A = this chain, B = another copy of it.
Amino acid sequence: MPRYASSTDVARLAGVSQSSVSRSYRPGASISQRTREKVLAAADQLGYRPSIIPRIMISHRSDLIAVVIGGLYNPLYARVLEEFATQLHSSGRQMLLVPVDSGHSLDSVLPRLAGYRVDAIVSALAVLSPKTAAALAKLRIPVISFNTKVSNAWVTSVSTDNARAGAEIADHFLARGARSFGFVTGPVDSPASAERLKGFRRTLARRGFKNLRIAEGRFRYEDGFQAALAMFACGNAPESIFCANDLLAIGAIDAIRTRLRLRVPEDVLVAGFDDIPMAGWAAYELTTFVQDASLMVRETIKMFQHSPIVRRDLAEGRVTLPARLVERASTSRLSRGSRAEIADVSRAEGP
């Protein structure tokens, strides 16, 4: 067991009081050069570092921020996590990383986090049921829901304007000449996916296109692959497909090209969401929406700088950031008429 040396141990060895040891580590404290040197020499010999554990008890501040996250297979989340770690670290706080299975609730980990007296919880991905929210309010832990709009006195949220993006891509497809449309969803309980669909569908309807093929996915490459096959299997193939995220879109492109023997973008336009690094790869050149991870994280961290009690009303507890469309080759042009025959996919398997 790694028994850490205490300031008392150092004091004994240096022949001074514990107070002097403590002072040696506080800049600006009233201590003589001579004593400080004695202390630091003794500390070095014992491998002493001041503990912040007692301070947590006294000050009720742990500088620990719990980040509850899952789905790191999605590079966007990996990126967001790294951004969180970096920003928290540089503001002198530590990140307690708590894994959750996608869609799982915070409930089961709450007691443990409370036990460590975390200063705040950032919940990306975990479900925030009203019951959980109530429990959090009782514990008085500020919670920032990342990318999911929930909000009460103790829960605030930072998210992207998904509906707006859905509307934008609809007009983008129309401007490129597409006249039939498909959408590949995320998991049914994903509000982000639902909002993207809503904006997409509403704008299409407003422009007079009510027909929208929808295939279900769960945010993974394989789902996009299968969804594309399913969409093209029963005739009436769409000329453009908007996918709830980039992994789905890339899966769809691979299915369209390698199984259906169609071309992207000549035969089908495909767009995604997130702008993960793979979207820029030469094989895909995927049109997508950038979510500014750095900004989102910065806004999230701002959220718990000020006590939730300071906030005047709930609206202040909600931040919505725009997503920016990045146009790439995957939606550059349709070559109507030259469309190749759709390959037989009756025996379609997974990739």
Contact = CB atoms under 8 A, between A and B. Distances in A.
Interface of A: 1-4, 44, 46-47, 49-54, 56-57, 60-62, 67, 70, 72-73, 75, 78-79, 81-82, 85-86, 89, 94-99, 109, 111-112, 114-117, 119-120, 135, 138-142, 221, 225, 250-251, 253-255, 257-259, 277-278, 280-284, 307, 351
A53 B56 CA distance: 8
A95 B86 CA distance: 15
Given A46-B138, A51-B116, A82-B99, 11 more contacts: A2-B119, A47-B139, A47-B140, A53-B62, A72-B81, A81-B97, A85-B98, A250-B281, A254-B281, A258-B282, A259-B282
A250 B284 CA distance: 12
Contact of A97 (B73, B85, B141, B257): B85
Contacts of A49: 111, 114-115, 139
5 contacts: A81-B97, A85-B98, A96-B96, A221-B277, A258-B283
A221 B278 CA distance: 9
B99 A97 contact: no
A89 B112 CA distance: 10
A115 B50 CA distance: 6
Nearest to A154: B2
A1 B61 CA distance: 8
Given A254-B283, A351-B282, A99 B75 contact: no
A117 B52 CA distance: 8
A283 B281 CA distance: 11
Contact of A95 (B72, B78, B97, B282): B97
Contacts of A115: 49-52
Contact of A117 (B4, B97, B119): B4
Contacts of A351: 280-282
A140 B73 contact: no
Nearest to A67: B97
B98 A4 contact: no
A223 B278 CA distance: 14
A230 B301 CA distance: 43
